[in-house]
Amino acid sequence: MQREPVQIVLASSLAQREPAIARWITSGRGSLAFILGDEDCRYRLLADGINWDRVLIASRSDGVIGYAAFKHHRLGPFSPGLAPFVREFGWLGGTLRYGLFMISECREWYYGFYLYGLRVHKVARRQGIASTLLQAVFEQALGGGHEKVELEVQAKNLAARAFYARHGFVPIRTLRWLSRLMPIPTVINLRRTLSPLSRVPTK
């Protein structure tokens, strides 16, 4: 059966910012739940500070089916203020959690162009959606003057590792020290070098 082609746009170009999209994007970062709380809490903390020009949206006529969030030039998908943290956790707890979140964000600064998150709705997987999003991510990186894309993937996320391996990402190092310092899973830093003609295999 012929599939409807997927549309990829920068979220900042959309006329409307749908709360459902913000909710989906902020539901990522589950590994930081000990700082950011559960999904509802992450939405309250982060939704007002989304940088929509750091989010690519994949959609078909039936709605949004995937997104990719990225970080470069020191700006990622989230720039939350301190206020929602204080509202949520009080002065002391809020400031501490805000500080920890900012430290975890700084960790990604040295990557240059960092793929912060990539997700496709369960019902739309294995249809090439993430591959199409990745191609758009590469274009963003090249457009921003970057020659490589880096990311961190949880070591236990075998599906994502297979996906990134298929797209030419190679492991650089395993970050075990992070999981010794904080209750977060072991992650692997992956890198893909780009050339101006970099294309991903799509279906």
In the complex, which residues of this chain contact ligand COA (CB under 6 A)? 117-120, 125-131, 153, 157, 159-160, 162-163, 166
Q: Which is nearer to ligand COA, 57 or 120 (CB)?
A: 120
Residue 131 contacts residue 201 (beta carbons within 8 Å): yes
Neighbours of 187 (CB within 10 A): 20
Kindly state the smallest distance separating residue 88's Cβ from ligand COA, in Å: 25
- To ligand COA, the closest distance from the beta carbon of 30 in angstroms equals 10
When the beta carbons of 46 and 85 are compared against ligand COA, the nearer one is 46
SS3 53: helix
Instruction: Give CA separation, 120 vs 30, 34, 50, 203, in Å.
Output: 16, 24, 19, 15
Nearer of residues 107 and 126 to ligand COA, judged by Cβ: 126
Minimum CB separation of residue 189 from ligand COA in Å reads 12
* 3-state DSSP of 68-118: EEEEECCECCECCCCHHHHHHHHHHHHHHHHHHHHHHHHCCHHHCCEEEEE
Report in angstroms how near the CB of residue 117 gets to ligand COA at its nearest. Answer: 6
Nearer to ligand COA, 47 or 153 (CB): 153
Which residues, including other chains, have CB under 8 Å from residue 198's CB and lie 6 or more apart? 138, 142, 192
Q: Which is nearer to ligand COA, 119 or 146 (CB)?
A: 119
Q: In angstroms, what is the minimal distance from the CB of 156 to ligand COA?
A: 10
